[in-house]
Amino acid sequence: MWPWFTVDCSHGVSFLRSIELPSGSYDQAFVCRLVDSCIEEIGEKNVVQVIGDVGIEKTGANLPRKRPNVFWTQCAASSIDMMLEDIGHICLIKKTIAKARSLTAFIYAQTNLLDMTRKFTNQQDLVHVGITYYTTCCLNLRSLYDKRIELKTMFISKEWEDSKWSKEAVGKKFYNLVVSNEFWHNVLYAINSFEPLVEVLRRMGSGRPSMGYIYGELMNAKKEFAFRFENKEEHYLPVWHHIDFRINLYMMKPLHLAAYYLNPSFYYQNRHEIENTEIFRDALFECACKMYQDESTQEKIVHQLKLYSTDSQSFGMVHAFSTRMDVDPVSWWQLHDGTAKELSAMALRILRLTCGSLAYEPSWIEMIHKEKPSWIKNLQFEDSMFVTVNRRIQGKAQMRDRDHVLAYLPCDDEPFEWLVGMFPFEAQRQDNRDLLMARARSGDGVGLAMLANKLFIEAEYVTSDEESDEEAPSHSIKRKTLSGASCSKREKRPRLVKGNLKDDESEGSDGNISY
């Protein structure tokens, strides 16, 4: 297990450190000590919130006892990925993914067939690598659907008819799959069930502070689902159910709700609904009490909120009215520093926060740890990792035109299941079975042959267009998570107070620790 810490401030994201945890040491008290030591190193006055993985909520309950003024939130990107996973378990979508995956595996397994496919698709690939398993599924389903005409043309072409695959049973099955309108209808259904949430992830990776947008964009995504399914409740309500479950579990935190209230593009569009829902104002008051212990400051914020909600003084001026929807909320609130100084300062502090980051990919940490030479010293390895990961973060940030949900540095086995037709752990069982069968044939005994046959039965994989009930890796064993971190108590390094962190201190505590 390789948890890590990153720091997000007004200058961008910086990797702090990652350590390898021994087996059995990942208990809540230990994690809480690691988080606390990093807050101590950075300075509590520079930390507004700690963003943790969605699987360690209990740590967030323990941290406020010692750090009552630091907010604990769950990673929004990880929460959205869990929404995608829940949607991916819908029976029709799960079966459609399995069929689409078996199709790409069939094409990529044959060199000549892959060349034929690229000829018909103008040298475009069918398979792409996303930042998580279900973003990969969405990207590849969209890729297949956009090339459905070319694929149909290929499967009815003379080149296909003259090929050996058209005469084989497996080739005929995939021919029937590709020319089937029902299959493409199901692919479109799966795309419409994923894409609005993937778009939210894509905007999270754009580099703008995401705290002021995440709640509102999830609400807009729900409207998009209803629109795509033509307001047919039997289609969009199951998706809404999974989204609402995760929102209520992870995204109803004071910072999320207060940021939604303070974003003028959302507030003034939905003012009546927001003002009649007490949770938003309550969240705002809780943030004010946590961020400012001075009662006079809290009273000023409450008074200035009335100006904001009633369009009084500078909030009602023409330039403030005309820029509500166009100007980013941070710049908009800077216009009102004179009218509502305390409220503006709190709004800027909240709206500059992130709620999760796509600036780094957890697979980077895993690859570096796995490639660690046995002879290298721990401190030297940590320094090397610090430089390597931060260099990758900078390189990814400089590629502004790239799709933010595409993996920057894919793992060697990604997207394994879309190229091979089975998950890596299934392939490992298949390799074990082949090895044992080979040993049995060489005279190692009947017992090995029986064991190999047992492994073969366990590793049986469905590659036809028939119904498949296989499960994608769950979050407990998944290929990657979207947030996680660790730190060890050690001597402070000069580099941690030279760049982003110390500069941020002078700007009034913009920092986030992503855990």
> Which tokens sit at 2?
């390789």
Among the residue ranges 87-91, 261-265, 305-309, 372-376, the one predicted with the least confidence is: 372-376
Location of structure tokens 């991916």: 88
pLDDT of residue 482: 36
CA angle 9, 15, 16 (to 5 degrees): 95
At residue 49, the 3 state secondary structure works out as: strand
Q: 109: closest CA among 181, 153, 156, 168?
A: 168
pLDDT of residue 490: 37
pLDDT of residue 511: 60
pLDDT of residue 471: 52
d(CA 490, CA 3): 17
Quick check: 365 pLDDT over 50? Answer: yes
Average pLDDT over residues 447-459: 43
Q: 482: closest CA among 400, 368, 404, 378?
A: 404
The highest-confidence range among 130-134, 262-266, 313-317, by mean pLDDT, is: 262-266
User: Which percentage of the chain shows pLDDT scores above 90?
Assistant: 44
Average pLDDT over residues 259-265: 95
What confidence tier does 341 reach under pLDDT thresholds 50, 70, 90? very high
Average pLDDT over residues 260-266: 95
Average predicted confidence (pLDDT) for the chain: 79
Residue 92's alpha-carbon distances to 125, 132, 179, 398, in angstroms, are 25, 21, 19, 39
Among the residue ranges 16-20, 118-122, 399-403, 481-485, the one predicted with the least confidence is: 481-485
Quick check: 440 pLDDT over 60? Answer: no
pLDDT in tens, 29-42: 777 788 888 888 88
pLDDT of residue 230: 95
pTM (two decimals): 0.78
pLDDT of residue 355: 87
Quick check: 194 pLDDT over 80? Answer: yes
Quick check: 500 pLDDT over 50? Answer: no
What confidence tier does 422 reach under pLDDT thresholds 50, 70, 90? low
Is the separation of the CB atoms in 487 and 21 below 8 Å? no
**DSSP assignment string, 222-263:** HHHHHHHTTT-HHHHHHHHHHHHHHHHHHS-SHHHHHHHHH-
Which comes out higher in pLDDT, residue 21 or 396?
396
The 3 state secondary structure assigned to 384-425 is HHHHHHHHHHHHHHHCCCCCCCECCCCCCCCCHHHHHCCCHH
Quick check: 498 pLDDT over 70? Answer: no
pLDDT in tens, 165-177: 999 999 999 999 9
pLDDT in tens, 55-112: 565 555 666 677 888 898 888 988 999 999 999 999 999 999 999 999 999 999 889 9
CA 487 to chain centre: 22
Is the separation of the CB atoms in 407 and 414 below 8 Å? yes
